[in-house]
Amino acid sequence: MAKKSRTRVVRKTRASRKRRSVRAPVPVPPRRGERAGHRIALTVNGSRRERTVEPRLLLVDFLRDHLHLTGTHVGCDTSHCGACTVLLDGRPVKSCTVFAVQADGSEVVTIEGLASAGRMHPVQQAFRENHGLQCGYCTPGVVLAAVAFLRENKAPSEDEIRVANG
Ligand code: FES
């Protein structure tokens, strides 16, 4: 019995020695003035943007902290409220559930990119005229979700609006 257990200890030691000899991958150093991470390029509100970002960076934080587009708000940070909604390749997404690296090569529209030539988007104008703001914190996300919805259904019934809203 004792002999068996001694053998096991010897094997473990050899295995650990072998493991230690495997070299860990060496991270590629960032270019001068750049942080380590992934290089991404995307179009945001019609402008091409390139940045080096950490793979764990959320799209909402990329928009707010890297591009200073602070119209996209973080409400719940748990994917429930929709305050962070932006259009990603024309589809509404909660930008707190998307990594910035996942948006690489895509087109993003935030609330800042909705107006054109100094004129509000018709949905923005409708919100303004009908006092649809409430406190205003989630309004950018609600407006963008409404824009995407109305692109797919130009004349929705009240029931369709209620289902889309649910
Ligand atoms: S912050 Fe609430 S869903 Fe993204």
Task: Please give the average per-residue pLDDT across 60-86, as a whole number.
Answer: 96
Helix (H) or strand (E) holding 89: none
CB burial of residue 24 (10 Å; 0-12, 13-18, 19+) = exposed
Q: Which atom of ligand 1 is nearest to the CA of 94?
A: 4
Q: Give domain status of residue 128, yes or no.
A: yes
**CA 39 to ligand 1 center in whole angstroms:** 25
Q: Which atom of ligand 1 is nearest to the CA of 79?
A: 3
**CA 99 to ligand 1 center in whole angstroms:** 13
**What's the chain's average pLDDT?**
85
The pLDDT of residue 164 is 84
Q: Give domain status of residue 148, yes or no.
A: yes
Q: Give domain status of residue 94, yes or no.
A: yes
Q: Give domain status of residue 125, yes or no.
A: yes
Which of 70, 72, 73, 76 is the best mutation target for the ligand 1 pocket, counting ligand atoms within 8 Å of the beta carbon and taking the most?
Answer: 76
Q: Give domain status of residue 1, yes or no.
A: no
Q: Provide the residue range defining the domain that includes 61.
A: 38-165
Q: Give domain status of residue 13, yes or no.
A: no
Q: Give domain status of residue 71, yes or no.
A: yes
The pLDDT of residue 134 is 83
CA 145 to chain centre: 15
Q: How many domains does the chain have?
A: 1
Q: Give domain status of residue 151, yes or no.
A: yes
Residue 76, pLDDT above cutoff 70:
yes
We report the CATH number of the domain holding residue 145 as 3.10.20.30
Ligand 1 contact via 83 beta carbon (within 6 Å) = yes
Q: Which atom of ligand 1 is nearest to the CA of 75?
A: 1
**CA 73 to ligand 1 center in whole angstroms:** 8
Decide: 110 and 86 in contact? Cβ < 8 Å.
yes
The residues, ordered by sequence, that sit 6+ positions from 92 with a Cβ below 8 Å of its Cβ are 85, 86, 144, 145, 148, 149
pTM, full prediction: 0.77
Task: Please give the average per-residue pLDDT across 33-52, as a whole number.
Answer: 89
Q: Tell me the sheet residues that pair with 49.
A: 42
Query: How many CB atoms lie under 10 A from the CB of residue 76?
Result: 13
